Amino acid sequence: MEILDFDGGQYKRSDNGIFLLRLPNPNEIWIKTSFLTNVAAQNTDFFTNLVKNRQTTRGRNETHILNDYTKFSLNRRYEIKGERNDCLLFAERVSLNDLTYSKSASVFSVDLGRTSKKFGKSDRDNKYIVSYTKNYKIKRDRLHNFTVNPDIGDAYSMVPHDTPIDSGVCPYHAATVVFKDGETNITIEADAGIELNKPIFDMYSISLFRHSFFINHVKTYLDQKVSDDGKIKYLLPTVLHLRQTYNVTRKSSNSKTRKSPQSPTRKQPARTTRSVTRNAGRSRRSRRSRH
């Protein structure tokens, strides 16, 4: 993944150049034309909600950065106003591919050893999840915050060091992964701190730490405290992998019901990560993000 300056603009480009985002706050995404079929296969439900834009080659030469790319935007269902700009609720809706979802049940869970706990159910549960992650995962793996790698349909979340309890606000950010290219994760996310009518695309690297989800958002969630002797101690936020574990009850052709996927109270099996490469033809009672 890299950031490029071209013709007065700045772009993020994924590992194999399959995705391009024009900064800042991109609500459109450029996809390498020759890989459209592969990208669609990664996340068919989400891809069908992209609208292909009219293409123009005016003023472009063969070295133009947008050559061989097709530009897509989101359809109107993705407009975010009011509650729709709630980053966690939006992340859940994208994960379920249901932009009308408004139930109280938590869609995501976080693995805690051999068990898991639902994220967003309550401030106390979120605080417990962060405490476990810091005491068991980060102590064992100092690079944890940089290398969190959600599957497609799962999400990133960043939670501050001191999680408020029943404060009436929700001080975290969540972003759902919709595509992958090598070690680059492509996300779509709402942000109550930015006055936009559409969510934004972004991309994060799991190997180049300067482009990680942690580095991109740490300044917003970094806390500090001053000791009695005047020394400043910085309190780092924690990055979580939110697994989509929502139980969806469906009716089969013989009218019997079945639930999918497995119960979020048990540890989920590892998922197969699909990535397009050149070899393969963001308290449920109040969920406003602090930004």
Residue 100's identity, in one-letter code, is T
pLDDT at 79: 82
Domain ranges of the chain: 79-260
Q: State the Cα angle at 222 between 216 and 228, rounded to 5°.
A: 160
Which pairs from 130-137 meet CB under 8 Å and 24+ separation? 130/159, 130/163, 130/238, 130/240, 133/238, 133/240, 134/238
Cα separations (Å) of 148 from 109, 113, 173, 232?
14, 16, 14, 28
pLDDT at 106: 93
- Is residue 111 within 8 A of residue 267, CB to CB? The reply is yes
pTM of the model: 0.82
Tokens 């900064």 -> residue: 23
pLDDT at 192: 53
Q: What is the DSSP letter of 199?
A: -
Tokens 């772009």 -> residue: 11
Q: How many CB atoms lie within 10 A of CB 92?
A: 27
- Is residue 172 within 8 A of residue 213, CB to CB? The reply is no
How far is Cα of residue 161 from the mean position of the Cα atoms in its chain? 20
pLDDT at 234: 86
- Is residue 272 within 8 A of residue 154, CB to CB? The reply is no
pLDDT per residue of the chain (291 residues) written in tens, 0 to 9 = 999 998 889 999 999 999 999 999 899 999 999 999 999 999 999 999 999 987 665 556 666 888 899 999 999 888 876 555 688 999 999 999 998 898 888 999 999 999 999 998 888 899 999 999 999 999 999 999 999 999 999 999 999 988 766 555 557 899 999 999 999 999 999 875 666 788 999 999 999 999 999 999 999 888 888 888 888 888 899 999 999 999 754 444 444 444 444 433 333 334 444 455 544 444 444 444 444
Question: Residue 227: exposed, middle, or buried by beta-carbon count in 10 A (0-12, 13-18, 19+)?
Answer: exposed
Residue 59's identity, in one-letter code, is G
How far is Cα of residue 30 from the mean position of the Cα atoms in its chain? 18
pLDDT at 289: 45
- Is residue 145 within 8 A of residue 138, CB to CB? The reply is yes
Nearest to 282 by CA among 162, 140, 186: 186
